[in-house]
Amino acid sequence: MPSLNQNLYAALRAAFPADLDLTAIETGDGPGAPLHYTWRDLERGSAMIANLLASLALPPASRVAVQVDKSVEALMLYLAVLRAGHVYLPLNNAYQAAEIEYFVGNAEPAVVVCAPKAFGWVSKIAFQAGTPHVFTLGDDRSGTLLDRASFHGDVQDPVARRADDLAAILYTSGTTGRSKGAMLTHGNLLSNARVLKDYWDWKPGDVLIHALPIFHVHGLFVASHGALLNGSRMIWFAKYDPKAVLARLPEATVFMGVPTLYVRLLGEPGLDRQACRNMRLFISGSAPLLIETFTDWQQRTGHTILERYGMSETVMLTSNPCKAADGERRGGTVGFPLPGVGVRIVDERNLPLPPGEIGNIQVKGPNVFKGYWRMPEKTADEFTDDAWFKTGDVGRFDADGYLSIVGRSKDLIISGGYNVYPAEIEGVLNEMPGVAESAVIGVPHPDFGEAVVAVLVPRPGEPAPEPAAVIAALKGRIANFKVPKQVFVETELPRNAMGKVQKNLLRDRHQGLFAA
């Protein structure tokens, strides 16, 4: 393996333990569980798939689009694509035909891998778009990908890549128009993984519970790279079952989840300090963590969740401290910029704002993506003249440097000429009796331009909040222009696969509320 090879897989492989027959991954659920995969299995399995890809004589840096159920073999496929020098394109397994048609048409992958049950419709889309190769991969180790790979050798030298070469394209959720493919390089991913290994104090003997999907930054890069780069065993869950995860917590030291996973674990009577006795670190991200969840977790487990902030285009940007010497983990914040990452808060003219003032979050660093796939104008629009990336998020720094995310700039409500930040109102609503969580949106209004509307979810077992009483209570706590014109009570908020509230769907639902 050439020492100058900056292929991400080469760095991950160098971190494998000396004894390759140790367990790397143990499945906690799924067909045949528990299954034990050694480090040698990961090395050999990914080599065979990489050799299969090499046998197809694909152009260098071809895209490999993957829409499969979570499995260890799916992780091997990701590693194989890196090894083979191609570009990995993970797709949410909830995507339907129209979405897959767009992604395949836009990315023009040379290879598509799908679940066996989806082969009929996915292959039709792929072949019509000119994709020459379609394979299947099931979560039970079935499918043509593994069948074909079994005929290839289990030794392979990773194809030489530069740090600036593409490793993956992640399509953003596309809530404000066409989905954009964020181009991440080998260098982007490796630099971030190395920073997190140090900042989150990964130790020899750490064991990760991997309960996240692997079509997203959080599960595929942050969690998987973290364990692989530390030579750490993973306990692997294909589907999230809080009871099953709780049963394995005593064997683990690190857990990464979205807020919904923590809420569901809090619903388990067995969650207590004893269950978490060997845990070192609980990390939350991908969506805002309610302060109530943060506090309840502290009280039940004795652990303080570490909240961090990142996005598809940048991997991780900030984190609350891991080590006590670096400071406290402060609920409602996402901590400090990671080493080597620049974060600034600016006004509409890109001028820096002082601590305490709300503005647009812009970032810079080796983790920031190369641009949007085949969208040079969009890429240029999203970077400032001095090369800072405009995240589209709105936030503020506290006086002592902690960053708080106030919301997305597209979620900003301008009502009667005043700026209204939904997160501020949601923070007040979530403290009210009977309110489990809330979402605040802006909808068209003939007089104010936009009107503030709140959607509440009641707490189980408590009387549902009364909209008129909620509005009356808010009038005593926040400025009148921030008070919702209407409040709705619903059983749940619409969310995407990573637990983020889909406010675009709420806006669509209430679009005509104030129509003449």
Same domain, 167 and 28: yes
Same domain, 56 and 144: yes
Residues 422 and 336 in one domain: no
Q: Using the 8-state DSSP alphabet, how is residue 481 labeled?
A: G
Q: Which of 160-174, 338-352, 374-388 has the lowest mean pLDDT?
A: 160-174
- Residue at 288 is within a domain: no
260 occurs within a structural domain: no
Match 């909808």 to its residue by tokens. 443
Overall residue count recorded for the chain in this entry: 516
Please check the confidence at residue 419 and state whether its pLDDT lies above 90: no
* 26 within a domain of the structure (yes/no): yes
Q: Pick from 361, 377, 409: which residue ends a domain? A: 409
Which of 341, 376, 409 is where one domain is finished? 409
Whether the CA torsion 349, 351, 355, 360 is positive or negative: it is positive
Confidence (pLDDT) at 116 = 98
Q: What is the mean pLDDT of residues 413-441?
A: 90
pLDDT of residue 377: 96
Q: What is the rounded average pLDDT of the residues 40-62?
A: 98
Return the H-helix or E-strand segment holding 291.
helix 291-301
The enclosing domain of 79 has a CATH number of 3.40.50.12780
Tokens coding 419: 């700026």
What one-letter code names the amino acid at 112?
A: V
Q: What is the CATH number of the domain that holds 475?
A: 3.30.300.30
> What does the pLDDT look like over 452-477, one tens digit per residue?
999 999 999 999 999 999 999 999 88
365: closest CA among 347, 392, 383, 346? 383
Mean pLDDT of 437-466: 92
For residue 26, give its domain range: 8-192
Helices (H), 367-509: 376-381, 422-429, 467-475, 503-509
Please indicate, yes or no, if residue 251 is contained in any of the structural domains.
no
pLDDT at 290: 85
Same domain for 395 and 452, yes or no, is: no
Question: pLDDT category, 417, cuts 50, 70, 90?
Answer: confident
Whether 274 maps to a domain, the answer reads: no
% of residues, the chain, pLDDT over 90 = 86
Q: What is the pLDDT of residue 385?
A: 95
- Is the pLDDT assigned to residue 189 strictly greater than 50? yes
CA dist., res. 294 & res. 336, Å (int): 18
**What's the pLDDT score for residue 3?**
52
Residue 175 has a pLDDT of: 43
3-state per-residue secondary structure call for 160-196: CCCCCCEEEEEECCCCCCCCCEEEEEHHHHHHHHHHH
Average pLDDT value for the chain:
95
Judge whether residue 382 has pLDDT over 90. yes
Q: Does 430 lie in the same domain as 370?
A: no
Residue 281 lies in a domain: no
The residue assigned the tokens 């364990």 is 227
Q: Of 363, 358, 362, 380, nearest to 371 (Cα)?
A: 380
- Whether 169 and 65 map to the same domain: the answer is yes
pLDDT digits (tens, 9 = 90+) for 1-19: 445 899 999 999 999 999 9
Grade residue 177 by pLDDT with cuts at 50, 70 and 90: low
Structure confidence by residue, pLDDT tens digits, 198-224: 999 999 999 999 999 999 999 999 999
Same structural domain, 39 and 161? yes
Same domain, 350 and 462: no
* Mean pLDDT across 64-92: 97
pLDDT of residue 330: 98
Lowest mean pLDDT among 185-189, 418-422, 455-459: 418-422
435 and 315 in one domain? Answer: no
Query: What are the b/e assignments for 120-153, b being 16+ CB within 10 Å?
Result: eebbebbeebebebbbbbbbeeebbbbebbeebe
pTM comes to 0.89
Q: What is the pLDDT of residue 516?
A: 62
Residues 167 and 43 placed together within one structural domain of the fold: yes
pLDDT tens sequence across 104-118:
999 999 999 999 999
Confidence of residue 84 (pLDDT cuts 50, 70, 90): very high
Interval 152-177 mean pLDDT: 88
Secondary structure of residue 39 in the 3-state scheme: helix
361 in a structural domain: yes
Terminal CA-CA length for the chain: 69
Do 150 and 117 share a structural domain?
A: yes
- What would the 3-class secondary structure string for 4-33 be? CCCCHHHHHHHCCCCCCCCEEEEECCCCCC
pLDDT tens digits, 257-301 = 998 899 899 999 999 999 999 999 999 998 888 898 999 999 999
Confidence of residue 35 (pLDDT cuts 50, 70, 90): very high
What are the tens digits of pLDDT across the range 351-366? Answer: 999 999 999 999 999 9
So what's the pLDDT on residue 94? 83
Query: Number of folded domains in the chain?
Result: 3
Predicted local confidence at residue 2, as pLDDT: 41
Res. 250: pLDDT tops 90: yes
Domain's final residue, options 386, 409, 432:
409
What pLDDT is attached to residue 176?
A: 45
The pLDDT of residue 476: 86
Mean pLDDT confidence for 129-145? 97
Phi and psi of 433, rounded to 5°? -55, 135
Average pLDDT score over residue span 318-339 = 97
Q: Does one domain contain both 170 and 35?
A: yes
Q: Is the pLDDT of residue 484 over 60?
A: yes
Q: What is the CATH number of the domain that holds 360?
A: 2.30.38.10
As a whole number of angstroms, the distance between CA 400 and CA 356 comes to 10
